[in-house]
Structure 1
Protein backbone atom coordinates (compact mmCIF):
# COMPACT_ATOMS: atom_id res chain seq x y z
CA UNK A 1 0.00 0.00 0.00
CA UNK A 2 1.38 3.40 -0.92
CA UNK A 3 0.36 6.83 0.18
CA UNK A 4 -1.23 8.80 -2.59
CA UNK A 5 -0.64 12.55 -2.68
CA UNK A 6 -3.76 14.48 -1.81
CA UNK A 7 -2.76 17.80 -3.33
CA UNK A 8 -2.96 19.36 0.16
CA UNK A 9 0.12 21.11 1.47
CA UNK A 10 0.53 21.44 5.24
CA UNK A 11 0.59 25.05 6.45
CA UNK A 12 3.88 26.57 7.55
CA UNK A 13 4.71 30.17 8.46
CA UNK A 14 5.73 32.41 5.57
CA UNK A 15 9.55 32.52 5.81
CA UNK A 16 9.79 36.09 4.49
CA UNK A 17 7.26 37.43 7.03
CA UNK A 18 9.03 35.40 9.75
CA UNK A 19 12.33 37.14 8.92
CA UNK A 20 10.60 40.51 8.84
CA UNK A 21 8.80 39.74 12.14
CA UNK A 22 5.69 41.18 10.54
CA UNK A 23 2.95 38.76 11.65
CA UNK A 24 0.00 40.11 13.65
CA UNK A 25 -2.90 38.63 15.55
CA UNK A 26 -5.05 39.12 12.44
CA UNK A 27 -2.73 36.75 10.57
CA UNK A 28 -3.14 34.14 13.28
CA UNK A 29 -6.93 34.46 13.20
CA UNK A 30 -6.86 33.89 9.42
CA UNK A 31 -4.84 30.67 9.58
CA UNK A 32 -6.41 27.62 7.94
CA UNK A 33 -8.22 25.15 10.19
CA UNK A 34 -5.45 22.57 9.83
CA UNK A 35 -2.69 24.95 10.93
CA UNK A 36 -0.98 24.16 14.23
CA UNK A 37 -1.47 26.40 17.27
CA UNK A 38 0.94 29.32 17.24
CA UNK A 39 2.03 32.09 19.56
CA UNK A 40 3.30 35.43 18.35
CA UNK A 41 6.53 36.72 19.79
CA UNK A 42 7.38 40.18 18.48
CA UNK A 43 5.69 39.41 15.16
CA UNK A 44 7.22 35.95 14.70
CA UNK A 45 4.95 32.90 14.66
CA UNK A 46 6.13 30.22 17.09
CA UNK A 47 4.47 26.82 16.62
CA UNK A 48 3.15 25.43 19.92
CA UNK A 49 4.22 21.77 20.31
CA UNK A 50 1.53 19.13 20.21
CA UNK A 51 0.81 17.83 23.75
CA UNK A 52 1.02 14.23 24.93
CA UNK A 53 -1.98 12.32 26.26
CA UNK A 54 -0.86 12.77 29.88
CA UNK A 55 -0.33 16.49 29.28
CA UNK A 56 -3.83 16.81 27.83
CA UNK A 57 -5.33 14.74 30.66
CA UNK A 58 -3.81 17.04 33.28
CA UNK A 59 -5.10 20.10 31.41
CA UNK A 60 -8.58 18.64 31.02
CA UNK A 61 -8.80 17.52 34.64
CA UNK A 62 -7.63 20.94 35.86
CA UNK A 63 -10.09 22.68 33.54
CA UNK A 64 -12.89 20.50 34.93
CA UNK A 65 -11.81 21.15 38.53
CA UNK A 66 -11.69 24.92 37.96
CA UNK A 67 -15.05 24.85 36.17
CA UNK A 68 -16.61 23.04 39.14
CA UNK A 69 -14.95 25.08 41.92
CA UNK A 70 -14.23 28.60 40.69
CA UNK A 71 -16.68 31.36 41.62
CA UNK A 72 -19.17 32.45 38.96
CA UNK A 73 -17.12 35.55 38.06
CA UNK A 74 -14.55 33.27 36.42
CA UNK A 75 -14.52 31.02 33.39
CA UNK A 76 -12.01 28.20 32.89
CA UNK A 77 -10.68 27.62 29.38
CA UNK A 78 -8.29 25.38 27.44
CA UNK A 79 -6.54 25.99 24.12
CA UNK A 80 -7.49 29.65 23.98
CA UNK A 81 -5.06 32.52 23.79
CA UNK A 82 -4.12 35.77 25.44
CA UNK A 83 -3.60 38.84 23.24
CA UNK A 84 -0.90 41.01 24.76
CA UNK A 85 -0.53 43.27 21.72
CA UNK A 86 -1.05 43.06 17.96
CA UNK A 87 2.22 41.14 17.57
CA UNK A 88 2.44 39.22 20.88
CA UNK A 89 0.14 36.41 22.02
CA UNK A 90 0.26 33.49 24.44
CA UNK A 91 -1.36 30.05 24.25
CA UNK A 92 -1.40 28.80 27.87
CA UNK A 93 -2.54 25.25 28.55
CA UNK A 94 -5.33 26.39 30.91
CA UNK A 95 -6.72 29.85 31.63
CA UNK A 96 -9.01 31.34 34.24
CA UNK A 97 -10.60 34.44 32.75
CA UNK A 98 -13.49 36.79 33.50
CA UNK A 99 -16.84 35.03 33.10
CA UNK A 100 -18.07 37.66 30.65
CA UNK A 101 -15.46 36.76 28.00
CA UNK A 102 -17.40 35.93 24.84
CA UNK A 103 -17.60 32.22 24.04
CA UNK A 104 -17.05 32.94 20.35
CA UNK A 105 -13.58 34.42 20.86
CA UNK A 106 -10.21 32.70 20.67
CA UNK A 107 -8.29 35.38 22.57
CA UNK A 108 -8.75 37.24 25.84
CA UNK A 109 -7.02 40.51 26.54
CA UNK A 110 -4.58 40.47 29.45
CA UNK A 111 -6.93 42.44 31.70
CA UNK A 112 -9.47 39.59 31.49
CA UNK A 113 -6.97 36.91 32.60
CA UNK A 114 -6.65 35.95 36.26
CA UNK A 115 -4.60 32.74 36.00
CA UNK A 116 -2.38 31.21 33.31
CA UNK A 117 -1.31 27.56 33.69
CA UNK A 118 1.44 25.70 31.87
CA UNK A 119 1.96 21.94 32.05
CA UNK A 120 5.66 21.27 31.54
CA UNK A 121 6.61 18.75 28.87
CA UNK A 122 10.12 17.61 27.86
CA UNK A 123 10.12 19.92 24.82
CA UNK A 124 8.83 22.98 26.70
CA UNK A 125 10.81 22.87 29.97
CA UNK A 126 12.89 26.00 29.43
CA UNK A 127 10.01 28.00 28.01
CA UNK A 128 7.50 26.98 30.75
CA UNK A 129 9.93 27.31 33.65
CA UNK A 130 11.80 30.49 32.67
CA UNK A 131 10.50 32.37 29.65
CA UNK A 132 6.74 32.15 30.05
CA UNK A 133 6.66 33.21 33.73
CA UNK A 134 8.73 36.28 32.88
CA UNK A 135 6.50 37.10 29.89
CA UNK A 136 3.27 36.54 31.82
CA UNK A 137 4.56 38.70 34.69
CA UNK A 138 5.59 41.48 32.29
CA UNK A 139 2.10 41.34 30.78
CA UNK A 140 0.55 41.68 34.26
CA UNK A 141 -1.23 38.31 34.64
CA UNK A 142 -1.86 38.10 38.42
CA UNK A 143 -1.39 34.34 38.93
CA UNK A 144 0.71 31.67 37.22
CA UNK A 145 0.78 27.93 37.90
CA UNK A 146 3.44 25.59 36.58
CA UNK A 147 2.56 21.91 36.65
CA UNK A 148 5.34 19.36 36.47
CA UNK A 149 4.57 15.79 35.39
CA UNK A 150 5.77 12.40 36.66
CA UNK A 151 4.82 12.92 39.44
CA UNK A 152 2.29 15.72 39.12
CA UNK A 153 3.41 18.68 41.22
CA UNK A 154 1.87 22.17 41.12
CA UNK A 155 3.82 25.38 41.74
CA UNK A 156 1.64 28.47 42.29
CA UNK A 157 2.96 32.01 41.84
CA UNK A 158 1.43 35.43 42.53
CA UNK A 159 2.49 38.62 40.81
CA UNK A 160 4.24 40.88 43.35
CA UNK A 161 5.89 44.14 42.26
CA UNK A 162 6.16 43.01 38.63
CA UNK A 163 7.55 39.51 39.15
CA UNK A 164 6.21 36.17 40.31
CA UNK A 165 6.73 34.98 43.85
CA UNK A 166 6.18 31.32 44.75
CA UNK A 167 3.24 31.18 47.19
CA UNK A 168 2.63 27.42 47.36
CA UNK A 169 3.66 24.14 45.84
CA UNK A 170 2.43 20.64 46.40
CA UNK A 171 2.31 17.09 45.13
CA UNK A 172 -0.58 16.34 47.54
CA UNK A 173 -2.96 19.29 47.94
CA UNK A 174 -2.62 22.86 46.68
CA UNK A 175 -4.04 25.31 49.24
CA UNK A 176 -4.39 28.97 48.20
CA UNK A 177 -6.42 32.04 49.10
CA UNK A 178 -6.09 33.68 45.67
CA UNK A 179 -7.50 34.00 43.09
CA UNK A 180 -10.15 32.34 45.29
CA UNK A 181 -10.15 29.88 48.22
CA UNK A 182 -8.57 26.77 46.71
CA UNK A 183 -8.07 23.29 48.15
CA UNK A 184 -7.06 21.31 45.09
CA UNK A 185 -6.20 17.64 45.71
CA UNK A 186 -3.42 16.92 43.21
CA UNK A 187 -4.92 13.45 42.71
CA UNK A 188 -7.91 15.22 41.10
CA UNK A 189 -5.70 16.37 38.21
CA UNK A 190 -3.45 13.31 37.97
CA UNK A 191 -4.17 11.02 35.01
Structure 2
Protein backbone atom coordinates (compact mmCIF):
# COMPACT_ATOMS: atom_id res chain seq x y z
CA UNK A 1 0.00 0.00 0.00
CA UNK A 2 1.28 3.43 -0.93
CA UNK A 3 1.60 6.12 1.72
CA UNK A 4 -0.71 9.12 1.48
CA UNK A 5 0.84 12.26 0.00
CA UNK A 6 1.44 14.97 2.59
CA UNK A 7 -1.21 17.28 1.10
CA UNK A 8 -3.92 14.69 1.90
CA UNK A 9 -3.22 14.85 5.64
CA UNK A 10 -5.48 17.28 7.52
CA UNK A 11 -3.56 20.29 8.84
CA UNK A 12 -5.02 19.84 12.35
CA UNK A 13 -6.53 17.15 14.56
CA UNK A 14 -10.06 18.49 13.94
CA UNK A 15 -9.73 17.79 10.21
CA UNK A 16 -10.28 20.14 7.30
CA UNK A 17 -11.88 23.58 7.26
CA UNK A 18 -13.33 25.55 4.34
CA UNK A 19 -10.32 27.86 3.98
CA UNK A 20 -8.01 24.84 3.61
CA UNK A 21 -9.35 24.13 0.10
CA UNK A 22 -7.59 27.23 -1.23
CA UNK A 23 -4.27 25.86 0.05
CA UNK A 24 -4.45 22.50 -1.75
CA UNK A 25 -3.11 23.08 -5.27
CA UNK A 26 -2.26 19.36 -5.57
CA UNK A 27 -5.86 18.27 -4.95
CA UNK A 28 -7.83 16.99 -7.93
CA UNK A 29 -10.25 19.36 -9.64
CA UNK A 30 -13.73 19.38 -8.15
CA UNK A 31 -12.55 18.64 -4.61
CA UNK A 32 -15.30 19.41 -2.12
CA UNK A 33 -15.42 19.63 1.66
CA UNK A 34 -18.37 17.85 3.29
CA UNK A 35 -18.52 17.71 7.09
CA UNK A 36 -14.77 18.33 7.35
CA UNK A 37 -13.84 15.53 4.91
CA UNK A 38 -12.37 16.01 1.45
CA UNK A 39 -14.51 14.50 -1.32
CA UNK A 40 -12.83 13.92 -4.67
CA UNK A 41 -14.60 13.38 -7.97
CA UNK A 42 -12.21 10.72 -9.21
CA UNK A 43 -14.33 8.83 -11.73
CA UNK A 44 -14.45 10.12 -15.30
CA UNK A 45 -17.34 12.44 -16.08
CA UNK A 46 -19.98 11.11 -18.48
CA UNK A 47 -20.42 12.98 -21.76
CA UNK A 48 -24.15 13.34 -20.99
CA UNK A 49 -23.34 15.13 -17.72
CA UNK A 50 -20.79 17.52 -19.23
CA UNK A 51 -22.95 18.35 -22.25
CA UNK A 52 -26.02 18.97 -20.10
CA UNK A 53 -24.11 21.27 -17.73
CA UNK A 54 -22.69 23.26 -20.67
CA UNK A 55 -26.05 23.63 -22.44
CA UNK A 56 -27.84 24.53 -19.20
CA UNK A 57 -25.16 27.13 -18.44
CA UNK A 58 -25.75 28.79 -21.81
CA UNK A 59 -29.56 28.61 -21.47
CA UNK A 60 -29.51 30.15 -18.00
CA UNK A 61 -27.03 32.86 -19.06
CA UNK A 62 -29.53 33.93 -21.74
CA UNK A 63 -32.32 34.30 -19.16
CA UNK A 64 -30.62 35.44 -15.95
CA UNK A 65 -31.47 39.02 -14.89
CA UNK A 66 -28.87 41.79 -15.07
CA UNK A 67 -28.15 41.64 -11.33
CA UNK A 68 -27.14 37.94 -11.41
CA UNK A 69 -24.54 35.70 -13.00
CA UNK A 70 -24.29 31.98 -13.77
CA UNK A 71 -21.25 30.17 -12.44
CA UNK A 72 -19.91 26.65 -12.63
CA UNK A 73 -17.17 24.74 -10.85
CA UNK A 74 -17.21 27.15 -7.89
CA UNK A 75 -17.67 26.18 -4.27
CA UNK A 76 -20.11 27.59 -1.73
CA UNK A 77 -18.80 28.11 1.80
CA UNK A 78 -21.85 26.89 3.72
CA UNK A 79 -20.09 26.92 7.08
CA UNK A 80 -16.54 26.35 8.41
CA UNK A 81 -16.65 22.58 7.65
CA UNK A 82 -18.67 22.47 4.39
CA UNK A 83 -17.71 23.82 0.99
CA UNK A 84 -19.48 21.82 -1.74
CA UNK A 85 -19.07 22.49 -5.45
CA UNK A 86 -22.38 22.37 -7.32
CA UNK A 87 -22.44 21.83 -11.07
CA UNK A 88 -24.03 25.27 -11.57
CA UNK A 89 -25.19 28.17 -9.50
CA UNK A 90 -26.78 31.56 -9.98
CA UNK A 91 -25.19 34.27 -7.87
CA UNK A 92 -25.76 37.94 -7.19
CA UNK A 93 -22.08 38.47 -6.29
CA UNK A 94 -20.04 40.93 -8.31
CA UNK A 95 -17.46 39.37 -10.61
CA UNK A 96 -13.99 39.01 -9.07
CA UNK A 97 -11.10 37.31 -10.93
CA UNK A 98 -9.59 35.89 -7.75
CA UNK A 99 -12.74 34.61 -6.12
CA UNK A 100 -12.80 30.87 -5.26
CA UNK A 101 -16.10 30.53 -3.34
CA UNK A 102 -19.45 32.17 -2.69
CA UNK A 103 -21.35 32.75 0.55
CA UNK A 104 -24.86 31.23 0.75
CA UNK A 105 -26.52 34.66 0.84
CA UNK A 106 -24.96 35.40 -2.58
CA UNK A 107 -26.51 32.28 -4.18
CA UNK A 108 -30.07 32.24 -5.52
CA UNK A 109 -30.07 28.84 -7.25
CA UNK A 110 -27.93 25.70 -6.99
CA UNK A 111 -28.05 22.99 -9.66
CA UNK A 112 -26.68 19.48 -9.23
CA UNK A 113 -26.65 17.03 -12.15
CA UNK A 114 -26.72 13.57 -10.61
CA UNK A 115 -23.94 11.13 -11.47
CA UNK A 116 -23.72 7.57 -10.13
CA UNK A 117 -20.91 8.53 -7.72
CA UNK A 118 -22.70 11.68 -6.47
CA UNK A 119 -26.29 10.40 -6.29
CA UNK A 120 -26.51 10.02 -2.51
CA UNK A 121 -24.82 13.37 -1.82
CA UNK A 122 -26.92 15.23 -4.41
CA UNK A 123 -30.27 13.71 -3.38
CA UNK A 124 -29.89 13.83 0.40
CA UNK A 125 -26.75 15.41 1.90
CA UNK A 126 -26.51 18.49 -0.32
CA UNK A 127 -30.30 18.90 -0.40
CA UNK A 128 -30.26 19.25 3.40
CA UNK A 129 -27.07 21.33 3.62
CA UNK A 130 -28.09 23.88 0.97
CA UNK A 131 -31.46 24.31 2.71
CA UNK A 132 -29.86 24.72 6.15
CA UNK A 133 -27.58 27.40 4.66
CA UNK A 134 -30.64 29.31 3.40
CA UNK A 135 -30.11 28.95 -0.37
CA UNK A 136 -33.61 29.64 -1.74
CA UNK A 137 -33.70 27.31 -4.80
CA UNK A 138 -32.25 23.88 -5.55
CA UNK A 139 -32.51 21.78 -8.70
CA UNK A 140 -31.47 18.13 -8.81
CA UNK A 141 -31.31 16.86 -12.40
CA UNK A 142 -31.59 13.14 -13.13
CA UNK A 143 -30.92 11.17 -16.32
CA UNK A 144 -34.11 9.40 -17.38
CA UNK A 145 -33.24 7.36 -20.46
CA UNK A 146 -31.01 10.14 -21.80
CA UNK A 147 -33.51 12.93 -21.09
CA UNK A 148 -33.06 15.38 -18.21
CA UNK A 149 -35.67 15.35 -15.45
CA UNK A 150 -35.46 18.36 -13.13
CA UNK A 151 -36.57 18.00 -9.51
CA UNK A 152 -37.18 21.57 -8.28
CA UNK A 153 -37.13 22.57 -4.61
CA UNK A 154 -37.91 25.87 -2.90
CA UNK A 155 -36.83 26.85 0.58
CA UNK A 156 -39.71 26.93 3.05
CA UNK A 157 -38.81 29.80 5.37
CA UNK A 158 -40.66 28.67 8.50
CA UNK A 159 -39.13 25.17 8.49
CA UNK A 160 -35.76 25.98 6.90
CA UNK A 161 -36.17 22.90 4.68
CA UNK A 162 -36.77 22.48 0.98
CA UNK A 163 -40.29 21.80 -0.25
CA UNK A 164 -40.73 20.04 -3.60
CA UNK A 165 -41.94 22.54 -6.20
CA UNK A 166 -42.31 20.17 -9.14
CA UNK A 167 -40.74 17.55 -11.38
CA UNK A 168 -40.18 18.77 -14.92
CA UNK A 169 -39.80 16.81 -18.16
CA UNK A 170 -39.69 18.33 -21.65
CA UNK A 171 -40.03 21.94 -20.52
CA UNK A 172 -39.40 23.85 -17.32
CA UNK A 173 -41.20 27.12 -16.69
CA UNK A 174 -40.71 28.85 -13.33
CA UNK A 175 -41.29 32.39 -12.06
CA UNK A 176 -38.55 32.01 -9.41
CA UNK A 177 -35.70 32.68 -8.72
CA UNK A 178 -36.30 34.65 -11.95
CA UNK A 179 -38.45 34.05 -15.02
CA UNK A 180 -37.14 30.79 -16.51
CA UNK A 181 -38.39 28.98 -19.60
CA UNK A 182 -36.28 26.00 -20.66
CA UNK A 183 -36.75 23.44 -23.41
CA UNK A 184 -35.16 20.52 -21.55
CA UNK A 185 -35.15 18.32 -24.67
CA UNK A 186 -32.67 20.73 -26.32
CA UNK A 187 -30.16 20.40 -23.46
CA UNK A 188 -28.98 16.95 -24.57
CA UNK A 189 -28.12 15.76 -28.07
CA UNK A 190 -30.62 13.46 -29.81
CA UNK A 191 -29.86 9.76 -29.48
CA UNK A 192 -28.77 7.85 -32.59
CA UNK A 193 -31.04 5.02 -33.61
TM score, norm. by length of structure 2: 0.85
Shift of 1:53: 1.8
Q: Cα–Cα, structure 1 residues 21 and 39, in superposed 2: closer, same or farther, change >3 Å?
A: farther
Q: Mapping of 1:101-180 within 5 angstroms?
A: 101-149=95-143, 150-160=146-156, 161-180=159-178
Asked if residue 27 in structure 1 is aligned to residue 20 in structure 2, the reply is yes
Q: 2:32 aligns with which of 34, 39, 50?
A: 39
Shift of 1:96: 0.5
Give deviations 1:58-97, integer Å, cap 9, x for gaps.
1111111111111011110110010112321110000101
Q: Cα–Cα, structure 1 residues 34 and 127, in superposed 2: closer, same or farther, change >3 Å?
A: closer
Q: Cα–Cα, structure 1 residues 100 and 47, in superposed 2: closer, same or farther, change >3 Å?
A: same
Q: 1:96 aligns with which of 90, 93, 113?
A: 90
- Unaligned stretches of 5+ in structure 1? 1-8
RMSD: 2.2
CA distance in 1, matches of 2:101, 2:68: 15
SS in 2 for 1:152: strand
CA distance in 2, matches of 1:186, 1:140: 27
Equivalence for 1:13: 8
Give yes or no for contact 1:10–1:35 (8 Å, CA) kept in 2. Answer: no
CA distance in 2, matches of 1:130, 1:44: 17
Paired positions, count: 181
SS in 2 for 1:179: coil
Equivalence for 1:54: 48
Give yes or no for contact 2:7–2:26 (8 Å, CA) kept in 1. Answer: no
SS in 2 for 1:89: coil
Q: Cα–Cα, structure 1 residues 127 and 135, in superposed 2: closer, same or farther, change >3 Å?
A: same
